[in-house]
Amino acid sequence: MKQIDQWVRPNIRQLKPYSSARNEFSGEASVWLDANESPFNAPYNRYPDPLQTTLKNRLARQRGVRPDQIFLGVGSDEAIDLLYRIFCEPGKNNAVSIVPTYGMYKVCADINGVEYREVPLHDDFSLDVEALEAAVDSDSRLLFLCSPNNPTGNAFPAGEIERLITAFDGIVVVDEAYIDFSSHPSWLRRLDEFPNLVVLQTFSKAWGSAGVRLGMAFASPSVIGYYNKVKYPYNISAPVQRYALDLLDREGEVRSWVDEILTVRALFIERLEELPVVVKIYPTDANFVLVRMDNAPAIYEWLVAEGIVVRNRSSVALCGNCLRITVGAAGEMDILMEALRRYSQSVKL
């Protein structure tokens, strides 16, 4: 049995967290004089619920987990950063991940003074499980696996992820930011089996809410307890909590957005295949497509000149000459395709 406490930094294990007014009293009252708030400008005058109880109860029902298995952060980026602060002693512990992958795992390691070990994917973007296992040592505390992976778009086989969760003596983070676009099932179904598993999800992608900054970490109550200990007391604002509750009531609408994006994605891929400047379209489980092109930097510049911004990933490991293109609205993809056709024409002449 994996014991979470043994991997926690001693200062965090011993930490006496800040106790806010709303931690100490959370019942019903008619006169609130405990938090030095203003009596004016309701409802914004009041501090939000520090543990977001109503929202977590609603989310727990929707995702089939328990409220004590949820941490809510200012984007999943907050959930990533806090994992370093909970588990990694600067200059001593290390984190292991794949490359290419989402950039914030490394940035947060660098901010926290934690060694970050990058294990390249195979050329077809599959996991090198043996190399990951070889990169781990007794000071490794975090292993990041982004699935579906950004920027490659592919999801990793469950059997390989399970092998790593079982073998690793530390926290395995499966970042599922793009899971709603994937045919692979979420690891949330298996949360109870693995006390060292942290699943990240976000409202920023399928849920259409990147602007509100709301991310989720799902994990064993022990890990969530440490998250709650180190987070800022009122990290999720009251308007964001209310907004998310309303959005969860619109789940059907969100599903229809995802369906639409998947339809547009399929059509976009078909049309891309016809373009002579396209060298390879990588399979995708996400709301973006990684495309290897003939001279991606030139195409990137051409698109920018047309007012179209995609992500040039040419300088990223294994992604030479690749553009990462988000699947937008059908009309936006029409505009992009038109510009790409014009570029193809221009290089042919």
Binding site for ligand PMP (CB under 6 A): 75-77, 102, 146, 150, 175, 177, 202, 204, 210, 215
How near is the Cβ of 86 to ligand PMP at its closest, in Å? 18
Structural tokens at position 318:
């294994």
Q: Which lies closer to ligand PMP via its Cβ, residue 50 or residue 75?
A: 75
Q: Which two tokens stand for residue 223?
A: 């890990």
Nearer Cβ to ligand PMP (277/286): 286
Burial of 298 (0-12, 13-18, 19+ CB in 10 A): middle
Min CB(204)–ligand PMP separation in Å? 3
- Residue number, 106 or 271, with CB nearest to ligand PMP: 106
**Shorter beta-carbon distance to ligand PMP: residue 160 or 306:** 160
Tell me the C-alpha distance between 272 and 253, whole Å.
28
Q: Which is nearer to ligand PMP, 89 or 287 (CB)?
A: 287
CB of 306 to ligand PMP, least distance (A): 24
Q: How far apart are CA 60 and CA 54, in angstroms?
A: 10
CB of 164 to ligand PMP, least distance (A): 17
Task: Give the residue at shortest CB distance from ligand PMP.
Answer: 75
CB of 248 to ligand PMP, least distance (A): 16
Angle value at C-alpha 204, between 153 and 304, nearest 5 degrees = 65
What phi and psi values does residue 48 have, to the nearest 5 degrees? -75, 165
User: Counting beta carbons within 10 angstroms of the beta carbon of residue 12, is it exposed (0 to 12), middle (13 to 18) or buried (19 or more)?
Assistant: middle
For the bound state, the minimum distance from the C-beta of residue 10 to ligand PMP, rounded and expressed in Å, comes to 29
Residue nearer to ligand PMP on the CB measure, 140 or 149: 149
Cα separation of 225 and 15, whole Å?
12
Residue 141 near residue 84 (C-beta atoms within 8 A): no
DSSP 8-state code for residue 5: G
